[in-house]
Copies of this chain bind each other. A is one copy, B any other.
Amino acid sequence: MHIGFIGLGQMGIAMAHNLLKNDHSLAVHNRTRDKAEPLIRAGATWASSPAEAAYEADVVFTMVSDDAALRDVTMGELGLLNGLSEEAVHVSCSTISPDTARQLAQEHQHRNSRYVASPVFGKPEVAQAGKLWVCVSGETTAKEDVRPFLNLIGQGIFDFGDDPGAANVVKLSGNFLLGCAIEAMAEAFTLGEKNNISRTSLYEFFSTTLFASPVYKNYGKLIADEVYQPVGATPALIRKDMRLLLDEAQKALVPMPFADIVFQQLTATVAKGKTDIDWAGFAGEVSEKAGVVRPKS
């Protein structure tokens, strides 16, 4: 089968590598070509535009940074819709607003191609290992047709029904739950620290007992150590996701006090210029408010 892949950030590169398995052929496109070189060396071909990446593909993946970028690579002059064959499927993995997903699904329908919302959960190293969690929603047969490809990038696929926006609501909710876990740990660890209980001992207890889950283990360690490198995703990027979540909450008339606080913390982090750290670094806002001063390293 022939696959197109558009968007070669940290996540996209890792996912595209896994799609090269099983003798699939792969055409890749990115705004800047240099990111594509390792994939080309591994057997992929370069496509000079999204439309070219989609040309004669059975399935085309997109993994870009926001709604505007996805609209552009999909509906722009050289967008994938201008290359995609009828019946081919666009597997849209970016974290975007549910409404953008719904609109793009309609655009595809008008042209007899298909759209499957497929946002994913996992850090870049999880993507490399092909162990992402994949949420899908959209038309049933399209979802069935792309399942073998999704199995190459993920360890599990969860189906949230027909609405192309649904999987994106789930993705935004997941990032929200993650942000809540970060804030909660930051508050608890800071309270402990001020009571002479080390952040690490709290982390070790909770992450191996009641909260023994990937999120508390991985993010909890960052918050315990207060080391926010390397950058999985920046505060600005995830702040955009929280904004999309709050937009949905606003439309659905759901007051979400925790979401407001996480958004405030990310806003403060960005406002203070802490932009080159992992987003979990917003935990630093909690200790700062508590007057905890760290020795400069």
Nearest CB of B to A3, in Å: 25
Does any Cβ of B come within 8 Å of A180's Cβ? yes
Q: Flag if B264 contacts A260 (CB, 8 Å).
A: yes
In the bound assembly, the distance between CA atoms of A254 and B183 in angstroms comes to: 13
* Chain B neighbourhood of A192, CB < 8 A: 169-170, 173
Flag whether A121 is at the interface (Cβ < 8 A). Answer: yes
User: Does A177 touch B at the CB level, under 8 Å?
Assistant: yes
A205 in complex: contacting residue of B170, B205, B208, B252, CB < 8 Å: B170
> Which listed residue (B177, B253, B260) contacts A211, Cβ 8 A?
B177
Tell me if A178 and B253 are in contact (CB < 8 A): no
Q: Are B270 and A194 in contact (CB under 8 A)?
A: no
Binds B, one of A22-30, A47-55, A103-111, A154-162: A154-162
Distance of A133 Cα from B285 Cα, bound (Å): 31
In the complex, A205→B173 CA distance in Å? Answer: 11
**Which residues of the partner chain B approach A176 to less than 8 Å between Cβ atoms?**
184, 187-188
The number of times this chain is found in the oligomer is: 4
Closest chain-B Cβ to A244's Cβ sits at a distance in Å of 12
Say whether, besides A170-B197, A197-B166, A210 and B133 are in contact (CB < 8 Å): yes
Contact of A191 with B256 in the complex, beta carbons under 8 Å: yes
Which residues of chain B come closer than 8 Å to A255, judged between CB atoms? 264-265, 267-268, 271, 286, 289-290
Number of interface residues of A (CB under 8 A): 74
B261 touches A257 (CB 8 A): yes
CB pair B253 A267 closer than 8 Å? yes
Query: Contact between B205 and A211 (Cβ–Cβ < 8 Å)?
Result: no
Q: At the interface, is chain A mostly helix, strand, loop or mixed? A: helix
The answer, yes or no, to whether A273 is at the interface (CB within 8 Å) is yes
Query: A271 contacts B291, CB within 8 Å?
Result: yes
Q: Measured between alpha carbons, how far is A178 from B169 in the docked complex, in Å?
A: 24
- Verify B272–A291 contact, CB threshold 8 A: yes
Within 8 A of B (CB), among A243-280: 243, 245, 248-250, 252-261, 264-265, 267-268, 270-273
Q: Is A206 positioned at the interface, with any CB of B under 8 Å from its CB?
A: yes
Contact in complex: A253, B177 (CB < 8 Å): no
Q: How far is the CB of A85 from chain B (nearest CB, A)?
A: 31
CB distance from A202 to the nearest CB of B (A): 7
Contact with B along A15-50 (1 / 0, CB 8 A): 000000000000000000000000000000000000
Task: Tell whether, in the assembled complex, residue A194 and residue B253 are in contact, meaning their CB atoms are under 8 Å apart.
Answer: yes
Answer yes or no: A213 CB below 8 A from chain B CBs. Answer: yes
The answer to whether B205 touches A215, judged by C-beta atoms less than 8 angstroms apart, is no
Task: Mark A residues whose CB is within 8 Å of B.
Answer: 98, 121, 133, 135, 156, 158, 160-161, 163, 165-166, 169-170, 173-174, 176-178, 180-181, 183-185, 187-188, 190-192, 194-197, 201-202, 204-206, 208-216, 243, 245, 248-250, 252-261, 264-265, 267-268, 270-273, 285-286, 289-291
